[in-house]
Amino acid sequence: MELKINRYASMLKPSLIREMKVLADKYNDVIDFTLGEPHISRHTYEVIQEGLHHKMMESSLGYSHQYGIIELRMAISEYCKHNYGQIYDPYSEIIITTGVSEPISAVFKTILEEDDEVIIFSPSFTLYNTNVQMYGGKVVLYDMVENDMQVKEEVLSRLITAKTKAILVNSPCNPTGKIFSEEENEVIYNCIKDKPIFVISDEIYREIVFEQKKCCSLSKYPRLRDRLFILNGFSKSYAMTGWRIGYVLGPKEFINTVAVVHQNFVASASTISQYAALEALNHPELTKNIQQLYEKNRNYVYQQLKPYFKHVVLPEGAFYLYIDVSNYGLTSYEFAMNLLKSKQVAIVPSMAFEPNDSGYVRLSYCCDFETLRAGVLRIQNFIKSL
Q: What is the mean pLDDT of residues 322-348?
A: 97
Separation of alpha carbons 71 and 238, rounded Å:
18
Separation of alpha carbons 40 and 116, rounded Å:
40
Residue 192: pLDDT band with limits 50, 70, 90: very high
User: Would you state the pLDDT for residue 132?
Assistant: 98
Closest CA to 140 of 114, 177, 165: 165
User: Would you state the pLDDT for residue 60?
Assistant: 80
> For the chain, which domains are there?
7-43+285-385 (3.90.1150.10), 61-280 (3.40.640.10)
Give per-residue pLDDT as tens, 230-280: 999 999 999 999 999 999 999 999 999 999 999 999 999 999 999 999 999
CB burial of residue 121 (10 Å; 0-12, 13-18, 19+): buried
User: Would you state the pLDDT for residue 11?
Assistant: 87
Give per-residue pLDDT as tens, 196-205: 999 999 999 9
Residue 20: pLDDT band with limits 50, 70, 90: very high
Residue 59 has pLDDT above 90, yes or no: no
Residue 2 has pLDDT above 90, yes or no: no
User: Would you state the pLDDT for residue 13?
Assistant: 87
Please check whether residue 248 is in contact with residue 229, taking contact to mean a CB–CB distance below 8 angstroms: yes
User: Would you state the pLDDT for residue 225?
Assistant: 98
| Conformation bin of residue 235: beta by default, left when phi > 0, alpha when psi is -120 to 50 | alpha
User: Would you state the pLDDT for residue 186?
Assistant: 98
Average pLDDT, the chain: 96
User: Would you state the pLDDT for residue 323?
Assistant: 98
Percent of the chain, pLDDT > 90?
95
User: Would you state the pLDDT for residue 324?
Assistant: 97
Q: What is the mean pLDDT of residues 119-127?
A: 97
Read off the pTM.
0.96
Percent of the chain, pLDDT > 70?
100
Q: What is the mean pLDDT of residues 18-43?
A: 95
DSSP-derived pairing of the beta strands 138-143 and 117-122 = parallel
User: Would you state the pLDDT for residue 1?
Assistant: 82
Please tell me whether the peptide bond between 103 and the residue prior to it is cis, using omega within 30 degrees of 0. Answer: no
Give per-residue pLDDT as tens, 69-106: 999 999 999 999 999 999 999 999 999 999 999 999 99
User: Would you state the pLDDT for residue 263?
Assistant: 97
Give per-residue pLDDT as tens, 125-173: 999 999 999 999 999 999 999 999 999 999 999 999 999 999 999 999 9
Residue 58 has pLDDT above 90, yes or no: no
User: Would you state the pLDDT for residue 76?
Assistant: 98
